[in-house]
Chain A
Amino acid sequence: MTWIYDLVPAIALLPLVSFVVALFAGKYLPKKGALAGIAATGGSLVLSLLVALTVATSDGADTGYNETLYTFLEGSSSAPFSLELGVLIDPLSALMLVVVSLISFLVHVFSLGYMNDEGETGLPRYYAGLGLFSFSMLAFVFASNILMAFMFFELVGLCSYLLIGFWFREAGPPSAAKKAFLVTRFGDYFFLVGVVAIFATFGTGAFAGSESFPHLAEQALHGEHSVNTFLGLGEQAWFTVVGLLVLGGVIGKSAQFPLHTWLPDAMEGPTPVSALIHAATMVAAGVFLVARMYGFYALSPTALGVIAFIGGFTALFAATMGVVKQELKQVLAYSTISQYGYMMLALGGGGYVAAVFHLTTHAVFKALLFLGAGSVIIAMHHNENMWDMGGLKEKMPVTYWTFLAGSLALAGIFPFAGFWSKDEVLYETLIHGLGESPLLLGGYAMGLLAVVFTGFYTFRMVFLTFHGEPRTDVAEDPEPVRWNVKGPLVVLGVLATVLGAINMVPIKKLTDADIDFLHQFLDEAPSGFLTSVHHYAELLEVEAGYGAADIGTTGLLASAALSLGLALAGAGLAYRLYNVPEPVEHTDKLGRVKTLLMHNYYQDEYQVWLATGLTVPVAKAADTFDQGIIDGVVNGISSVSRFAGRGVRRIQTGVVRNYAALLTLALVLLVAFFGVTGGWF
């Protein structure tokens, strides 16, 4: 089955073909390019599944594939590194390919209901955007080196710009699209500096293998390999700097504090696009990148600590804002920020598998929740305010039950998928924190506290939307949705319920049954790649000093019970407050805190101020300076020459003949002068 690896590029190229088809021929196609997109992503999904299956069933070196496809620029004796595009298949990328192509496929199907059936115009552009988005993300996932990863990371940003701004005739979407690109571009600036630094330091950007930069870095720390470091820093410090630079891109794309501000605005895009952005593409790209180069981050306890803290803080910070939002998609947006915070916390806390696990389950349940929200939005004639809904439970049972499954997963309620992954995130952070890295306990505490808020806002959303009495006429008589909406919901609903089974670590610990399948799968990477779980575990322990404490079965159960209990507490509070026939807004009781939360801690305000309150005035001042002083001097010099004498005054007469004469004269004089002094004649 290893021949399937040769087809990996097709996984990305199929959606690229659908992009071209939709863009240039979509107008003439029956579904305006949707079918091409469905066929392409369906093909990608099948191929991805085959690839993942091959990885899972092969042994030894056959569990991965690392080849250069295309040399962008050949190195030479004086340019010691080549820039390449390549394919890296190992368990991590194989898993992510499946996730991305699955979500992308379902989003395409759902779009038939959300876009085509709703009579939207500009559909070829929409499907072209989706195709390009899938292409970029899939190519990013199997990127074999960091430059290629950066390239497709940027293309993902472009696609989000195009799709968030899809409804360009309105005022909001273009503004949100601009913000999304600009804020993430700010993060990507640091990422690009990091990429350049990695090439300058190691002479390669490869992710996997003995010649990869994570491995060279490891060797450099042991003095087995010499690398260039800069600015007078030692290896350890320089690697931390480089790691943090790359992290800038991660923080931007994965919407971590303080670059999370673009994500809530990005709700201006069509809802299926939100599903794609939040679950599988744009936002996932950041966290995936950290996982992809985990062998590098595992060398730097400082970088890991920063990742864990940003993650834990973001998880809590975003969850608190989700509590007061009134629009369905807004709640989901903040939940995304918060959930990616958990993944960052896991990565920083030494829980590589936990992070990948949560990335996978989150992809499923967040896509589900967004598509469910999309279904509700269709039903509500594009009104997103939860206070105008209520009582939709009876009217749209499929949406309700699947949405509920997604919500239970999001809140981390047993036995839904999110419970297992979030529990593992917290558990891993806890044991490493109790072990030799006590600082992680701070991140853990924030992550734990965020569980309460998550349970609360999730069920506030569910109750306000589906329970109680309909609060408007539209909610009384919602528009029905078709199979193309329900189908994807059912698939995702089932997955959100059962997906936790791929890695039930607590059960394994209790019963010693060998059921941590994801862990085993991720550990299968070819040993030469140095991307396996046990290699990372070794690095964490040896290089980062991450020792795990043994908290035993009791500790394990207590930890799980604690996070479940907190989630239930939050959900229970929401039940008390909002699961009533005619709920009222209780947020006024928060007083000034509500104002703070409604304004998102004034994060937008200061960032907008940085852009328009600071940068623009500085630019205007620069312009005034340029026009007045610099150009003034230029014009001044010409004025001086004008007054210098009658002959020279002609310089301003605008007769070119005069200039030509002047030039010739000057040339002759100069030649004569140098001729005489230089002994020319």
Chain B
Amino acid sequence: MLIEALLVATLLAAGVVFFAPDRYAGKLAAVLSLLPLVGSLWLWLDFEGSGNALLDGSEIAYETTIEWMDIGYTLQWHVGLDGVSLPLIVLTTILTTAAIVSAWTPIDERQSQFYGLVLLLEFGLLGVFAALDFFVWFVFWEVVLVPMYFLIAIWGGPRRKYAAIKFFVYTNVASLIMFVGFLTLVFAMGDSVTTLGLPEVAQALQAGGAVGSIAGFAPETVKLFAFALMFFGFAVKVPVVPVHTWLPDAHVEAPTPVSVLLAGVLLKMGTYALLRFNFTMLPDVATDYAELIAVIAVISVIYGAMLALAQQDLKRIVAYSSISSMGYVILGLVAYTTYGVGGATFQMISHGFISGLMFMVVGVIYNETHTRMVGDMSGMADRMPWTVGIFVAAAFGYMGLPLMSGFAAEVFVFLGSFDAPYLSLAPLFTAAAMFGIVIVAGYLLWAMQRTLFGEFDLGTDYEVGRAPLHDVAPLAVLLACVIVLGVNPDLFMGMIQDAINPIVNSLGGGA
């Protein structure tokens, strides 16, 4: 019942904060967000699960199954955690608390509603990662969109309406397509499944022969169709090129704390779902089309990085670089090796912390300067030494500096994908994607040189002082997470590998 307690506590916190007076809302939200944070750390320390929650032979941690109703398929409340979902839960709670504290400075109107929605968002995210039944999962998946929409549309920048609608419609259409894809698959399975439980569906598919023909289409075609629809639906969320254009708009308009959660956790919904659905349930399709998926991954890495290189707005730079980083996740997934898929999962966590940190540090500078344009400022290091120090550290983290989590994640992915068993020319795909580490260094170093160093100059009329402690503290916390995970990736990597191995082994894959 611990997961339920976590969810209820988060939801209650959201409700309480929503109706609290604006003056206290921020601090109250921060304090209340410690509940899920401490709870998730407890879950992590106490974790005794093993294996992959969706596949055979696993010990799902904190599992609850309650039958709900029977509509031909049995709907059930089914939640539980394994080594893939637990790290994402921890990531979500840490980032939410950090984001709430970082909102104290920039959010100066309708605070109670803002923080209430942030906590509601957290509730939805926790549910997505904990759910093991399709309907429960899908409800949480959609719940996430609502607070996100309002957070962008109310507290966003000048074009917030456009960005919020684009985000909402784009990802919702994608959800719909994914929904069709999954239901097609389930219906084609006929009587092999009696519930929409994700483990049941995955295990029936793994056993083979479960998919029948539907509307005259052969089982292979049905699987391909379902795979393609789900892939498209999740790809929008990730996002991968070419369905990524909602992302920069949403990021640029969203207030900093919302960007932190958007880049840090929301994107991981996409990669998490890809792992859970496409790559766990339909590995045969994924391996058949491995080259195509690898091409998409490489294009996302390189093209995303090139787009970041062209930007003048610090936030846009970070936003586009997320597309690049998510490309590594796709590459790791399609590798179907322990290091590849495990590295992809680790990259989700690592990128969550690093991109959250990057958005936050850009936000702190924006709080003081009220600009994010590279050409509008220079020499910030002179005025905000500690903030800039963390900026530099975060940027190097993004570039994959060793002993920071990004390096571990990327190296795992590369080690895993170099001899990917089902991907022809795997070394070339890997080498091509790895070139991203040069481009990312290019645009981040360029941006830092222009904005942080040189003689102090500012194009806007603001006094730049040192950022207040409550702006810098969350940065330091996230940086500490990045370094701790970089020095000791095994904090998560052990359980991740444990949950990944059944997927890899189901294909008889190697390293």
Report A's interface with B, CB cutoff 8 A.
71-74, 76-81, 83, 147, 150-152, 154-155, 158, 162, 165, 168-171, 173-175, 177-178, 181-182, 185-186, 189, 192-193, 196-197, 199-200, 203, 228, 230-231, 611, 615-616, 618-620, 622-623, 626, 630-631, 634, 638, 651-652, 654, 656, 659, 663, 666-667, 670-671, 674-675, 677-678, 680-681
**Contact call A677/B187, Cβ cutoff below 8 A:** yes
8 A-B residue pairs with CB within 8 Å: A76-B338, A78-B338, A147-B411, A168-B379, A196-B411, A620-B310, A638-B169, A667-B179
Chain B residues with CB below 8 A from A150, complex form: 402
**B418 nearest CB across to chain A (Å):** 4
**Cβ-defined partner of A196 (8 Å) among B168, B187, B415:** B415
**Contact call B445/A678, Cβ cutoff below 8 A:** no
**Contact call B445/A181, Cβ cutoff below 8 A:** yes
**Contact call B172/A663, Cβ cutoff below 8 A:** yes
**Contact call B165/A654, Cβ cutoff below 8 A:** yes
Which chain B residue shows the least CB distance to A187? B438
**A234 nearest CB across to chain B (Å):** 15
Which chain A residue shows the least CB distance to B431? A193
**Contact call A178/B183, Cβ cutoff below 8 A:** no
Interface residue ranges of B132-180 to A (CB < 8 Å): 142, 146, 149, 161, 165-166, 168-170, 172, 176, 179-180
The 10 A-B pairs with the shortest beta carbon distances in the complex, nearest first, are: A151-B402, A174-B453, A678-B187, A623-B310, A619-B309, A631-B245, A619-B310, A79-B338, A168-B453, A200-B418
Other than A154-B402, A630-B245, give 15 A-B pairs with Cβ distance below 8 A. Answer: A76-B501, A154-B401, A154-B407, A155-B402, A169-B453, A170-B455, A178-B445, A178-B448, A182-B438, A192-B437, A203-B511, A622-B307, A670-B179, A678-B214, A680-B187
Chain B residues with CB below 8 A from A192, complex form: 411, 414, 434, 437
**Contact call A196/B430, Cβ cutoff below 8 A:** yes
- Interface size class of chain B, counting residues whose CB lies under 8 Å from the partner chain: 35 or more
> CB-CB contacts of B304-339 with A at 8 A, as 1s and 0s?
001101110000000000000000000000000111
**A258 nearest CB across to chain B (Å):** 15
**Contact call A168/B415, Cβ cutoff below 8 A:** no
Chain B residues with CB below 8 A from A171, complex form: 454-455
**B405 nearest CB across to chain A (Å):** 12
For the A-B complex, the count of residue pairs with Cβ-Cβ distances under 8 Å equals: 192
**Contact call A74/B445, Cβ cutoff below 8 A:** no
- State A77–B502 Cα separation when bound (angstroms): 12
**Contact call A169/B455, Cβ cutoff below 8 A:** yes
**Contact call A197/B418, Cβ cutoff below 8 A:** yes
**Cβ-defined partner of B438 (8 Å) among A185, A203, A652, A659:** A185
Which chain A residue shows the least CB distance to B392? A162
- State A178–B454 Cα separation when bound (angstroms): 13
Query: What's the dominant secondary structure at chain B's contact region?
Result: helix
- State A171–B455 Cα separation when bound (angstroms): 7
**Cβ-defined partner of B72 (8 Å) among A175, A200, A680:** A680
**Cβ-defined partner of B428 (8 Å) among A152, A178, A231, A622:** A231
Query: What's the dominant secondary structure at chain A's contact region?
Result: helix
**Contact call A659/B169, Cβ cutoff below 8 A:** yes
**Cβ-defined partner of B497 (8 Å) among A79, A656, A678:** A79
**Contact call A230/B449, Cβ cutoff below 8 A:** no
**Cβ-defined partner of A622 (8 Å) among B71, B310, B419:** B310
**Contact call B427/A231, Cβ cutoff below 8 A:** yes
**Contact call B187/A181, Cβ cutoff below 8 A:** no
**B219 nearest CB across to chain A (Å):** 14
- State A432–B303 Cα separation when bound (angstroms): 48
Interface flag for B510 (CB, 8 Å): yes
- State A177–B442 Cα separation when bound (angstroms): 12
- Given known pairs A155-B401, A186-B438, A192-B414, the reply for A651 and B169 (CB within 8 Å) is yes
Most buried by B among A196, A203, A228, A231: A196
**Contact call B180/A670, Cβ cutoff below 8 A:** yes
**Contact call A182/B445, Cβ cutoff below 8 A:** yes
**B37 nearest CB across to chain A (Å):** 26
- State A666–B173 Cα separation when bound (angstroms): 10
**Cβ-defined partner of B511 (8 Å) among A80, A165, A182, A193:** A80
- State A405–B401 Cα separation when bound (angstroms): 40
- Given known pairs A174-B453, A618-B306, A680-B187, the reply for A169 and B379 (CB within 8 Å) is yes
**Which of B49-57, B363-371, B488-496 lies at the interface with chain A?**
B488-496
**Contact call B454/A158, Cβ cutoff below 8 A:** no
Which chain B residue shows the least CB distance to A23? B389
- State A256–B437 Cα separation when bound (angstroms): 21
Chain A residues with CB below 8 A from B180, complex form: 670
- State A181–B437 Cα separation when bound (angstroms): 12
Which chain B residue shows the least CB distance to A178? B445
**B93 nearest CB across to chain A (Å):** 25
Interface residue ranges of B476-495 to A (CB < 8 Å): 489-490, 493-494
Chain B residues with CB below 8 A from A654, complex form: 161, 165
**Contact call A181/B414, Cβ cutoff below 8 A:** no
**Contact call B215/A677, Cβ cutoff below 8 A:** yes
**Contact call B183/A674, Cβ cutoff below 8 A:** yes
**B302 nearest CB across to chain A (Å):** 10
Most buried by A among B407, B414, B445, B490: B445
Which chain A residue shows the least CB distance to B439? A615
Interface flag for B403 (CB, 8 Å): yes
**Contact call B437/A189, Cβ cutoff below 8 A:** yes
Chain A residues with CB below 8 A from B392, complex form: 162
- State A182–B440 Cα separation when bound (angstroms): 10
Chain A residues with CB below 8 A from B425, complex form: 231
Which chain A residue shows the least CB distance to B437? A189
> CB-CB contacts of B412-437 with A at 8 A, as 1s and 0s?
10110011000001111011001101
